[in-house]
Structure 1
Amino acid sequence: MIALLRFLLLGIVVLTVVYVCVSFYSRAVRREKLEREWDEDIREGDRDAFIREGLEEYDGSLRRKLILGVYVIPMIVVATIIYIVNYT
């Protein structure tokens, strides 16, 4: 039982690091896209305000929430493997 708890704790730590990295990467890609859109198409008004509004919209988007799959999918896979190994 202690080994399982240690495994789960390590798994949560690793998944948190992966989640933070993917989240920062995705936000940086979105920021670059907004900057490119501003430079190529808009060029009027406040650039920083445009990027800030775009990132606020991104924070509430479905894509941002899908990144939480970093936690859900591995946990489902591990639970399925544990079930199959022990009960079939």
Structure 2
Amino acid sequence: MFALARLFVVAFVVLTIVYICVSLYSRSVRRGKLEAEWDEEGMTGDRDAFIRQGLKEYDNSLRRKLILGVYIVPMCLVGLIIYLNNFH
């Protein structure tokens, strides 16, 4: 039982690092797309405010929430594999 708890703690730490990296990467890609949209459309006004507003919308988007799957999918798969190996 202690080995299983240690496995989940180590996996949680590793998945947290992966989550942070994926989240930062996704946010930077979104920022790049907003900057490209601003440049292509030749908009006028405050560019930083446009990007800030776009990133605020991104923070509430479904894509941002789907990144949490980094935690859910691997933990469920490990749990399923352990269950199937031990009880079937």
What TM-score range do you get, normalising by the shorter chain?
Answer: over 0.9
- 1:1-88 alignment runs, 5 A limit: 1-88=1-88
Letter in 2 for 1:43: M
How many pairs were matched up?
88
User: Percent identity among equivalent residues?
Assistant: 65
Superposition deviation, residue 28 in structure 1 = 0.1
Q: Provide the rounded CA distance (Å) in 2 between the counterparts of 1:42 and 1:53.
A: 17
Q: Which runs of 4+ in 1 moved over 3 A?
A: none
Structure 2: stretches of 5+ with no match in the other structure: none
Superposition deviation, residue 4 in structure 1 = 1.1
Normalising by structure 1, what TM-score?
A: 0.97
RMSD, matched Cα: 0.7
